[in-house]
Amino acid sequence: MRVIGLEKIRQVLPTLDPLAAMESAFTAYSSGQAVVPPVGEMVFENPPGDVHIKYGYLKSDDYYVIKVASGFYDNPGLGLPSSNGLMLLFSRKTGEGLAVLLDEGYLTDVRTAAAGAVAARYLAPDPVERIGIIGSGTQARLQVRYVSEVTGCRKVVVWGRTAGNVALYRDEMEAMGFAVEVVDSAGDVAARCNLIVTTTPSTAPLVGSVRKGTHVTAIGSDSPGKQELDTSVLAGADLVVADSISQCLERGEISGAIEAGVLGADDVVELGRIVAGDVPGRTSVEQITVADLTGVAVQDIAITRAVYEAIYSGEG
């Protein structure tokens, strides 16, 4: 079994197209071409953290993938990243272990950010006035980087719980060419932006309302009990999109809205169907749209395969 470290993964990623990989993954998933068992999960209280085990395969692939990814939210205070993990790649024909990708959670971060950009490509208004970011961690950075591939907007409005982290975020993003405005609340972000991305592990709603013509991509609510959007945001949306309807019935913003009785499962469309052109995405500048991205194993399969084949293509 080959072992691929983070340095090699970082070297090869710029040669790949993560957005195209995510579009293909979502399309395959929504067309029934993927086998994805329920998410395995462990939740910790002291210190707070969670571990997700996601796995599956595409029916047309020669591989299956098992991904382990963790988030421990006190880690930054210890000088450690909050996320970690690895990907395991196996032959679907023989069960032989082919590779361990010691990505330390980086591939999960990249595929999540690329999925956010895919959602924005099909659902964000045109033009995007300002990109609103709730949170100031790794995903808050990567979401802006990848969303910038599908919109010309370079104005960012950000709010986060910790002033020092937000200041560091502002400095880093401004060094990358973005104009960053720091505001006092998540509500201020929603009031000023028509493209909003929420990236926190919050267990209580942070965004209570949005303007007409706004798209919201909710990233952080990937476990039961997490919630970043008030259920009224989904109730008032013209289009609610899930990365996986079956998964979003158990976790994410959609599950909370259904439990509250303001949304039904039949009101939700999968992102893969929009990418495939089976159903429309945004059709009006006045629409409010919400994408609930809980993270699906097909994303891990797609990015793992892409990295492995880019490194070992032609070796047999």
Q: Beta strand pairing status for 48-58 and 34-35?
A: antiparallel
CB atoms within 10 A of CB 171: 10
Triad 141, 190, 207: Cα angle to 5°? 90
The pair of structure tokens assigned to 252 is: 């994410």
For 50-79, what is each residue's pLDDT tens digit? 999 999 999 999 999 999 999 998 998 898
Question: Mean pLDDT over all residues of the chain?
Answer: 96
Helix axis angle, 138-147 relative to 106-123, nearest 10°? 40
Give the model's confidence band at 314: pLDDT under 50 very low, under 70 low, under 90 confident, else very high.
low
Helix (H), strand (E) at residue 204? none
Judged against a pLDDT cut of 50, whether residue 85 lies above it is answered with yes
Q: Identify whether the C-beta of residue 1 lies closer than 8 Å to the C-beta of residue 100.
A: yes
Q: In this structure, are residues 61 and 31 in contact, taking their beta carbons and an 8 Å threshold?
A: no
pLDDT band of residue 223 (cuts 50, 70, 90) is: confident
CA-wise closest residue to 170 among 181, 161, 185, 155: 181
For residue 294, the model assigns a pLDDT of 96
pLDDT tens for each residue of 140-168: 999 999 999 999 999 999 999 999 999 99
Q: Give the pLDDT of residue 313.
A: 81
Convert the pLDDT of each residue in 8-49 to its tens digit: 999 999 999 999 999 999 999 999 999 999 999 999 999 999
Question: What per-residue confidence (pLDDT) applies to 105?
Answer: 95
Q: Is the dihedral of CA 310, 65, 72, 133 positive or negative?
A: positive
- Determine which of 3-12, 74-83, 137-146, 208-217 has the lowest per-residue pLDDT on average: 74-83
Catalytic annotation, pick one of 8, 59, 67, 155: 67
**pLDDT at residue 200 is higher than 50:** yes
- β-pairing, 63-72 with 48-58? antiparallel
Q: Is the pLDDT of residue 315 over 80?
A: no
- Cβ pair 194, 272 in contact under 8 A: no
Per-residue pLDDT of 237-271, as tens digits, reads 999 999 999 999 999 999 999 999 999 999 999 99
155 φ, ψ (degrees, to nearest 5): -100, 125
Crossing angle for the helix pair 106-123 and 297-312, nearest 10 degrees?
Answer: 110
Non-local CB neighbours of 313 within 8 Å, separated by 6+ positions: none
Asked if the model's pLDDT at residue 316 lies above 90, the reply is: no
Percent of the chain with pLDDT over 90: 95
Domains and CATH numbers, the chain: 2-107+298-312 (3.30.1780.10), 119-296 (3.40.50.720)
Whether the pTM exceeds 0.75: the reply is yes
Annotated active-site residue 67? The verdict is yes
Handedness of CA 223, 224, 230, 235 (dihedral sign): positive
Residue keyed to tokens 């976790």: 251
Helix (H), strand (E), coil (C) string for 90-125: EECCCCCEEEEEECCCHHHHHHHHHHHHHHHHHHCC
Picking from 58, 60, 9, the residue whose alpha carbon sits closest to that of residue 308 is 9
